[in-house]
Amino acid sequence: MAFEGFKLVAAPKREASDPASKRKQRLLMQIDHQLYMAEPENRLRKFRGRWWTTDAEGKLMLSIKYGKVPLELAKGKHAIACNDMDDLVEALKKAKAIAVDGTFDAQLATISGQVRARFKKGA
């Protein structure tokens, strides 16, 4: 037989995907993409969909977004002020750790529901 050297086992059944975990994975994937854009070798490239902007004083403002909607990081606060790109990378890494903990799950569910409501057929 062709598979004599391998230990063969039954394949486990795939569990039904949880919508909350899908939303969290999408956010984590987008944070990873923002980290990629913020790497030193990519800073001069033009990317669409960057989450950071520069204010009049030259400081960077980072908004963590789900789709195009910025997440509320604290009551009425939607952005993180960063002094330079290194601070921005650290803020993104911390946001990723917070997202893994599930802090944004309720906001992601709310935003997802609002987006779905826009696609429902009117009466």
Rounded to an integer, the average pLDDT of 83-98 is 96
Domain limits of the chain? 49-109
CB 30 within 8 A of CB 48: no
Count of positions (residues) in the chain: 123
Contact 31, 54 (CB under 8 A): no
How far is it, in rounded angstroms, from Cα 82 to Cα 11?
Answer: 47
- Per-residue pLDDT tens for 32-58? 999 999 998 888 888 899 999 998 988
DSSP state of 52: E
CB atoms within 10 A of CB 103: 13
What local confidence, expressed as pLDDT, does residue 2 receive?
80
